[in-house]
Every structure is written in structure tokens, then in C-alpha cells.
């Protein structure tokens, strides 16, 4: 993501873009890692798979 931000800033802002992108990159790297979701390991209901919606008869 950070590389994309740097490229986009360079394209949009010209010569100052590199400095802006480097500053944004440093800021993003300084942010704490997000905590995992409490629902990440929640069990699925029995018999419900990834294709359950695609397989239902309408």
C-alpha cells in the first residue's frame, strides 16, 4: 500500500510529491498494527459453506 501511495503522490504533485510520499510512508509505518477482529476465528454455522448463497433455489 505504501508504495502505491508514494507513486500516486509523485504523479499528482510533481517534484514535491516524492517528499510528501516519503512523509506519508513514514507516518503509515509509525502507526500501530491493528488488533485482529474478535470475529476472525468465530465458528461458522453447520452446513453453511462459501457457495451456500449461489446454490440456493430462488
DSSP 8-47: HHHHHHGGGHHHHHHHHHHHHHHSPPPPPPTTTTPPPPTT
Calpha distance 56→47 (Å, rounded)? 13
Which pLDDT belongs to residue 30? 94
Q: What is the pLDDT of residue 20?
A: 84
DSSP state letter for 50: T
**Percent of the chain, pLDDT > 90?**
14
Q: What is the mean pLDDT of residues 51-56?
A: 66
pLDDT band at 27 (very low <50, low <70, confident <90, very high): very high
Q: What is the pLDDT of residue 38?
A: 85
- Is the pLDDT score of 49 beyond 80? no
Q: How far apart are CA 44 and CA 21, in angstroms?
A: 41
Amino acid at each position: 500500500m505504501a508504495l502505491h501511495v508514494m507513486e500516486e503522490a509523485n504523479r499528482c504533485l510533481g517534484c514535491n510529491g516524492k517528499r510528501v510520499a516519503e512523509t506519508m510512508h513514514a507516518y503509515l509505518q509509525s502507526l500501530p498494527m491493528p488488533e485482529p477482529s474478535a470475529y476472525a476465528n468465530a465458528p461458522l454455522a453447520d452446513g453453511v459453506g462459501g457457495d451456500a448463497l449461489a446454490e440456493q433455489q430462488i
